[in-house]
């Protein structure tokens, strides 16, 4: 059985348990690809579900199976947030997402219990399952060889959705592979390879057709690169090429 088949089996079991027992069930944090698999499953159980990541702009999210109508009450997913900050005034050198993730993985923490890592205000907000939050806060001592302090926040922070950087790209058409290539300065072959490797998603679903055109307002995510908001065609060049406007978000 493949990893995807195992994932779908586990998610189907969670959905069936929620429907059969009338209580909420929760997955671990799902990657965009795993969320796409869930959205495409067509679950036969009567358990509704939603995806939650701890803040509005989350990329990695927990599947919440159940609803107030089904269960008779409302419940939130078991997500906590740990705030990490340097013990000094600031980090001596820039600390990136990989530095924080590497430090956490070095503690033996599985990636599935960790959500997004948001770098902000000179520190990092780490979204994780409640069961691992206290261990993380008490055990993490340094990030990138810089001593840090970590604490579990009493409530999830109200992080506002990041504003994307608006840019204009010149493309021959609105094809997804052309847009991905232009936004991240890739060759068309490199862009198409990302589609073949199932690394491109539109609104959380895997993009299977690189020649498809997105709709205005669609979010296009590319694993390892980031995301952009498609804003549409803004002009036409003298040679008949399109000027397209997108809002580019950073990686998480």
CATH class of 79-152: alpha beta
Phi first, then psi, for residue 46 (nearest 5°) are -95, 15
135: left (phi over 0), alpha (psi -120 to 50) or beta: alpha
Contacts for 80 with CB less than 8 Å, ≥ 6 apart: 127, 128, 129, 130, 133, 152, 153, 156
Contact (CB, 8 A) for 179 and 171:
yes
Regarding pTM above 0.85, the answer is no
Q: Kindly give the confidence (pLDDT) of every residue in the chain, 252 residues in length, as a single tens digit, with 9 standing for 90 and above.
A: 788 889 999 999 999 999 999 999 999 999 988 998 898 887 767 789 999 999 988 889 999 999 999 899 999 999 999 999 888 655 555 667 888 999 999 999 999 999 999 888 788 999 999 999 999 999 999 898 888 999 999 999 988 766 788 999 999 999 999 999 999 999 999 999 999 998 899 988 888 899 999 999 998 989 888 889 999 998 888 888 999 999 998 655
Q: Which two tokens stand for residue 24?
A: 């909420």
Give 3-71's CATH code, choosing from 1.10.10, 3.30.1370, 1.10.287, 1.10.3430: 3.30.1370
How is domain 165-249 classified at the CATH fold level?
Answer: 3.10.290
Would you kindly state where each structural domain of the chain is located, as residue ranges?
Answer: 3-71, 79-152, 165-249
User: Residue 45 in 3-state DSSP?
Assistant: coil
């Amino acid at each position: 059985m493949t990893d995807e088949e195992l994932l779908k089996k586990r998610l189907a079991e969670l959905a069936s348990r929620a429907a059969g027992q009338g209580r909420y069930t929760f997955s671990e944090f799902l990657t965009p690809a795993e969320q796409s698999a869930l959205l495409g499953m067509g679950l036969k159980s009567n358990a509704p579900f939603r995806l939650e990541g701890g803040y509005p702009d989350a990329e990695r999210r927990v599947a919440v199976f159940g609803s107030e109508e089904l269960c008779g009450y409302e419940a939130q997913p078991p997500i906590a947030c740990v705030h990490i900050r340097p013990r000094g005034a600031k980090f001596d050198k820039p600390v990136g997402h990989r530095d924080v993730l590497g430090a956490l993985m070095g503690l033996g923490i599985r990636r599935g219990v960790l959500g997004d890592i948001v770098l902000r205000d000179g520190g990092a907000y780490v979204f994780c399952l409640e069961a691992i939050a206290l261990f993380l806060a008490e055990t993490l001592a340094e990030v990138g060889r810089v001593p840090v302090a970590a604490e579990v926040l009493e409530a999830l922070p109200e992080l506002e959705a990041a504003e994307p950087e608006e840019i204009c790209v010149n493309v021959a058409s609105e094809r997804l592979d052309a847009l991905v290539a232009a936004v991240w300065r890739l060759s068309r072959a490199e862009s198409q390879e990302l589609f073949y490797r199932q690394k491109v998603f539109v609104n959380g679903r895997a993009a299977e057709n690189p020649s498809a055109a997105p709709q205005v307002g669609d979010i296009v995510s590319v694993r390892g690169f980031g995301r952009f908001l498609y804003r549409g065609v803004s002009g036409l060049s003298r040679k008949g090429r399109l000027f397209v406007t997108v809002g580019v978000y950073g990686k998480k």
